[in-house]
Structure 1
Amino acid sequence: MSEAEAKQIERMKSLLATQRDAFRHERHRPIDLRKADLARIADLCRKNSDAICEAISRDFGNRARQESVIAEIAFVIQDADHTAKHIGKWAKTRSVGVPMTLMPGKATIRREPKGVVGIVSPWNYPFQLAMAPLVAALGAGCRAMIKPSELTPATAELMKRLIGEAFEEDHVCVITGGPAVGEAFSRLKFDHLFYTGSTQVGRLVAMAAAENLVPVTLELGGKSPAIVTPGYPKLSAAKSIGWGKFLNAGQTCVAPDYVMVPNGEERAMGEAIIKIAEHEFPESSSDDAYTAIVSDRHYERLTGMIEEARAGGAEILQAEHDAQAAQAARKIPPTVILNPPADSKVMTEEIFGPLLPVVGYSEIDAATNYVADHDHPLALYVYSTDKEMATRILDQSQSGGVGINTNLLHLSVPDLPFGGIGASGQGSYHGEAGFLTFTHERSVFATGKWHPSRLLAPPYGKFYETVSKKQMS
């Protein structure tokens, strides 16, 4: 560990103590102040959209501005506005019923902020995936420390400056640094830790948090399948799947990771997807609308997947491109891999790039059995004109979320919880689900000075017999 990292770790420990002290002095931040906090987030996004897009593009080598506006900045603005609109209702104390045997009395649930929360964000959507959890935390009345990915340093430094201008450090702060800082961050005694990233690192984060019994939300990933049922229009499916896959060059946790089509239709589907990609990105190697791969390591990993699949007998379809220019720009053209080996990396690891395996199935049950035999995916996409068929697939599968005849868009519906299940994550956020993630629902039962329950104390008599029979009936 370097001296600079050691100092940064000591600094974040000090900041945690400062935020804890501030929270003790304001355990119940008024709703109007929470709304003002959220307005600052939305205002920060609107006023600095160009700088945010430029920082993200610098980190990637090239990121389409349109993608950053829609998927990062506008998303956070919508989330902040939606939360501000509804937190008054979400935060209200709720009354619940009291059994006759416990009357008279009043039972309520107080929705209280958990306290100081930690947010660990990834590189693929470096702004949105830091700020959206922050929106939920601020809406709940918490204080927050954010640790962005070291793979997107320009975005991290910009967020640090913008957050520093909008909030006092005892309210919200950004911690930058490498893996050693990130590991130490995960071991801090937060009141809640929110992590977005790979399943492998997610396990380590959960283990680190467990040392202090810190509750965690894990937003992970997995291989999200798209199942195209017999008779569904190929062009329609290809347009939808291609858009979801090649947005951000496939570096999206809910991007379709592979496509399943009826046996014999693999090539037709693959060629349709490539044809549409060539129309959308006429020259992917030089088109600013097509995003680069974030790092040399990820580029090499993806090209290695292609070559392994090719060596295993798979056919590779790629959009027309200038190979040398693409390599120099660290871009991989839209790529379809027809029927790769089942044990190849492209079929066993989350891809996180513009590679799309297309595999055949004999019948729908075979497709759903394949999905069920693997880790539960973060998303499942079903393309079907038959509602009963779509429902059947949902009934035979498990996933974090579902898109029917579309993909990606389910995470943009403010009131739909977003999160995984099993290896794809635990917990959820967005809308009220995000508010509840950073909220403790505190149970309160109140009675008068005297309550009939005191007659249940020993020595047990007729009142006990009457009450116990009533409860057991």
Structure 2
Amino acid sequence: MDRPPLFSSDLQAAYEHLHAASRAEPYPAWSIRRDRLRRLAALIRANETLLCQAISDDFGHRSAAETQVLDVVPSLEAIRHALRHGASWMRPRRASTSIWFWPARAQLLPQPLGLVGIIAPWNYPLYLAVGPLASAFAAGNRAMVKLSEFSPAFGAQFSRLVRAAFDPAELVIFTGGADEAAAFSSLPFDHLLFTGSTAVGKRVMAAASANLVPVTLELGGKSPAVLTPEFDVQLAADRIVYGKLVNAGQTCVAPDYVLLPRNALEAFATACERAARRLYPQGLRSPDYCSIIDMRHYSRLTALQAHAHAAGVKLHPLFAGTQHMDLQHRLAPVLFIDPPDDIALMQDEIFGPWLPLVPYDNVEQAITYINARPRPLALYWFDRDKRRIGQALRATHAGGVTVNDTLFHVAQDDLPFGGIGPSGMGQYHGRLGFETFTKLKPVLYQPRLAGTALVRPPYGKAFARLIAMMKR
């Protein structure tokens, strides 16, 4: 019988084994790194159907097509990008040398950190494990990955496949609940990357700090979409609704609320309804509409709705008929019209198919609204005025921006992914992901004859003249 994923009793032993292996091979050749990346890609390609089914089982229902476009393809593209560029990323880089130290020369040597820990969430369990893993492998590291306890079917399947494809001195997968996650984040990794909620991110960072482990935190927050007055309302609705409803809103960069002109509220709500029904013509029973991950999150979301309704907020359902039902814990999308700031819906990241519409009277007011809140992981700006777009980009802070669409800046391997403050710390993807898991070691090469002899004691007139020149 196949052995289950690693238990907590295995955690320390697995760490020590991988740590020792990383120290025994501090600078793996590109051929070794390339082989690990290729095996990771082959694992995904050969087992795509199994992985899609496991993810659907964890959600209650998620269409294979959605998993392909949101998990499989981005994972393979991250690996492909690393394979295409990794050999050049790892080459020593020339650095300039101060004129006072000529003829010495300087360079930066990209060196693997060693052993990387990755904590992946349940909402995109494949991509948010494989994406950082591709960067870590390209950089020459070994890795331990902690998968979410809320995706047990995927965790069991992926763990089994990794054990068949990788030596335990290269990569191990770890599962388990909160206690195991706490133990994992307390290990003295050379770097720890966590993707998840801000609240849990604080605990992960606190645990890592005991060992001075550098962390990358990919969190979330309330990412706004801004519709400017002249933009096509239906086009904006089509793109915002897609970004909100894919994966039933369980996306860290999903638009969390929409800022829009006050006189466009009704037209935009109607346009959102049209967009939702085009995407999911059978409503909750549409085979492409995703379930909420479990009843705990389902209950949390219905409580947010009930609280908003009790506060007098107008609700605008986007599907005809029943607004929610226990159909594999699916929730139909709802717009919340002009909700007050002090209700729960507007305080924390929604992470579901609810979309508040917040009216403004001028664009400057919308920018002020965004800047008065914690810096978001994403900003979506819908505008045709290039000058105003530039002003908005300079006036606001966000982890990443897509102009005139949603989500897709995350899919660009040459754009870093990461938040600011409550929405995250650090970044990865592409070359910047490689550098996150790399120490750019500075090296100075000094020749036999060096000018530094002139600044050694005993200090005399020649030293004084040199120092005078250096201080000019």
Q: TM-score, normalized by length of structure 2?
A: 0.97
Aligned to 1:354: 353
Aligned to 1:309: 308
**In the TM superposition, what is the alpha-carbon distance from 1:282 to its structure 2 partner?**
2.1
Q: Secondary structure at the match of 2:23?
A: helix
Summarize the alignment of residues 302-341 of structure 1 with structure 2, pairs less than 5 Å apart.
Answer: 302-321=301-320, 323=322, 326-341=325-340
Taking a change above 3 Å as real, the CA distance of residues 325 and 235 of structure 1, as seen in their structure-2 partners, is: closer
**In the TM superposition, what is the alpha-carbon distance from 1:328 to its structure 2 partner?**
3.5
For residues 398 and 319 of structure 2, the distance between their equivalents in structure 1, rounded to whole angstroms, comes to 34
Summarize the alignment of residues 97-116 of structure 1 with structure 2, pairs less than 5 Å apart.
Answer: 97-116=96-115
**In the TM superposition, what is the alpha-carbon distance from 1:448 to its structure 2 partner?**
2.2
For residues 88 and 118 of structure 1, the distance between their equivalents in structure 2, rounded to whole angstroms, comes to 23
Matched, 1:448 2:428: no
Summarize the alignment of residues 221-240 of structure 1 with structure 2, pairs less than 5 Å apart.
Answer: 221-240=220-239
Summarize the alignment of residues 114-263 of structure 1 with structure 2, pairs less than 5 Å apart.
Answer: 114-263=113-262
Contact 2:292 2:331 in 1 (8 A): yes
**In the TM superposition, what is the alpha-carbon distance from 1:264 to its structure 2 partner?**
2.1
**In the TM superposition, what is the alpha-carbon distance from 1:322 to its structure 2 partner?**
5.0
For residues 457 and 289 of structure 2, the distance between their equivalents in structure 1, rounded to whole angstroms, comes to 76
Contact 1:274 1:336 in 2 (8 A): no
For residues 204 and 295 of structure 1, the distance between their equivalents in structure 2, rounded to whole angstroms, comes to 23
Q: Provide, for residues 267-302 of structure 1, a one-character-per-residue CA deviation record: whole Å limited to 9, x for no partner.
A: 221221122102211223222200000011111111
Q: Secondary structure at the match of 2:319?
A: coil
For residues 107 and 452 of structure 1, the distance between their equivalents in structure 2, rounded to whole angstroms, comes to 15
**In structure 1, what residue type is equivalent to 2:43?**
L
For residues 72 and 24 of structure 2, the distance between their equivalents in structure 1, rounded to whole angstroms, comes to 32
Aligned to 2:411: 412
Taking a change above 3 Å as real, the CA distance of residues 10 and 467 of structure 1, as seen in their structure-2 partners, is: farther
For residues 173 and 109 of structure 1, the distance between their equivalents in structure 2, rounded to whole angstroms, comes to 30
Deviation above 6 Å: which 4+ runs of structure 1?
Answer: none
**In the TM superposition, what is the alpha-carbon distance from 1:324 to its structure 2 partner?**
8.6
Q: Return 5+ residue gaps in structure 1 as ranges.
A: none
Q: Provide, for residues 345-375 of structure 1, a one-character-per-residue CA deviation record: whole Å limited to 9, x for no partner.
A: 1111100000000110011111001101111
Q: TM-score, normalized by length of structure 1?
A: 0.97
**In the TM superposition, what is the alpha-carbon distance from 1:471 to its structure 2 partner?**
2.6
**In structure 2, what residue type is equivalent to 1:235?**
Q
For residues 461 and 423 of structure 1, the distance between their equivalents in structure 2, rounded to whole angstroms, comes to 56
Matched, 1:463 2:462: yes
Contact 1:37 1:138 in 2 (8 A): yes
For residues 84 and 352 of structure 1, the distance between their equivalents in structure 2, rounded to whole angstroms, comes to 33
Q: Secondary structure at the match of 1:449?
A: coil
**In structure 1, what residue type is equivalent to 2:213?**
V
**In the TM superposition, what is the alpha-carbon distance from 1:455 to its structure 2 partner?**
2.6
Aligned to 2:24: 25
For residues 321 and 466 of structure 1, the distance between their equivalents in structure 2, rounded to whole angstroms, comes to 85
Q: Return 5+ residue gaps in structure 2 as ranges.
A: none
Deviates more, 1:450-459 or 1:213-222: 450-459
Contact 1:286 1:326 in 2 (8 A): no
Q: Secondary structure at the match of 2:342?
A: coil
Taking a change above 3 Å as real, the CA distance of residues 324 and 390 of structure 1, as seen in their structure-2 partners, is: closer
Contact 2:324 2:331 in 1 (8 A): no
Matched, 1:287 2:268: no
Contact 2:108 2:443 in 1 (8 A): yes
**In the TM superposition, what is the alpha-carbon distance from 1:27 to its structure 2 partner?**
1.1
For residues 216 and 251 of structure 1, the distance between their equivalents in structure 2, rounded to whole angstroms, comes to 24
Contact 1:284 1:326 in 2 (8 A): no
Taking a change above 3 Å as real, the CA distance of residues 98 and 207 of structure 1, as seen in their structure-2 partners, is: same
Aligned to 1:69: 68
Q: How many residues align?
A: 468
For residues 466 and 49 of structure 2, the distance between their equivalents in structure 1, rounded to whole angstroms, comes to 68
Matched, 1:87 2:97: no
**In the TM superposition, what is the alpha-carbon distance from 1:465 to its structure 2 partner?**
2.1
**In structure 2, what residue type is equivalent to 1:134?**
L
Contact 1:286 1:325 in 2 (8 A): no
For residues 33 and 230 of structure 2, the distance between their equivalents in structure 1, rounded to whole angstroms, comes to 50
Q: Secondary structure at the match of 1:357?
A: strand
**In the TM superposition, what is the alpha-carbon distance from 1:450 to its structure 2 partner?**
4.5
**In structure 1, what residue type is equivalent to 2:21?**
A
Aligned to 1:371: 370
Aligned to 2:275: 276
How many percent identity over aligned positions?
39
Q: Secondary structure at the match of 1:265?
A: helix
Deviates more, 1:29-38 or 1:76-85: 29-38
**In structure 1, what residue type is equivalent to 2:372?**
D
Q: Secondary structure at the match of 1:459?
A: coil
**In the TM superposition, what is the alpha-carbon distance from 1:325 to its structure 2 partner?**
7.5
Q: Provide, for residues 62-103 of structure 1, a one-character-per-residue CA deviation record: whole Å limited to 9, x for no partner.
A: 012111001101111111011101011111101111111111
**In structure 1, what residue type is equivalent to 2:386?**
K
Taking a change above 3 Å as real, the CA distance of residues 442 and 325 of structure 1, as seen in their structure-2 partners, is: closer
Contact 2:81 2:430 in 1 (8 A): yes
For residues 253 and 295 of structure 1, the distance between their equivalents in structure 2, rounded to whole angstroms, comes to 17
Contact 2:74 2:411 in 1 (8 A): yes
For residues 230 and 472 of structure 1, the distance between their equivalents in structure 2, rounded to whole angstroms, comes to 56
Contact 1:403 1:409 in 2 (8 A): yes
**In structure 1, what residue type is equivalent to 2:268?**
M
Aligned to 1:57: 56
**In structure 2, what residue type is equivalent to 1:122?**
P
For residues 373 and 357 of structure 1, the distance between their equivalents in structure 2, rounded to whole angstroms, comes to 17
**In the TM superposition, what is the alpha-carbon distance from 1:390 to its structure 2 partner?**
1.0
Summarize the alignment of residues 374-389 of structure 1 with structure 2, pairs less than 5 Å apart.
Answer: 374-389=373-388
Q: Secondary structure at the match of 1:323?
A: coil
For residues 114 and 400 of structure 2, the distance between their equivalents in structure 1, rounded to whole angstroms, comes to 29
For residues 336 and 46 of structure 1, the distance between their equivalents in structure 2, rounded to whole angstroms, comes to 38
Aligned to 2:341: 342
Aligned to 1:38: 37
**In structure 2, what residue type is equivalent to 1:92?**
R
Aligned to 2:10: 11
Deviates more, 1:316-325 or 1:447-456: 316-325
**In the TM superposition, what is the alpha-carbon distance from 1:452 to its structure 2 partner?**
2.2
Taking a change above 3 Å as real, the CA distance of residues 87 and 183 of structure 1, as seen in their structure-2 partners, is: same
**In the TM superposition, what is the alpha-carbon distance from 1:327 to its structure 2 partner?**
2.2
Q: Secondary structure at the match of 2:379?
A: strand
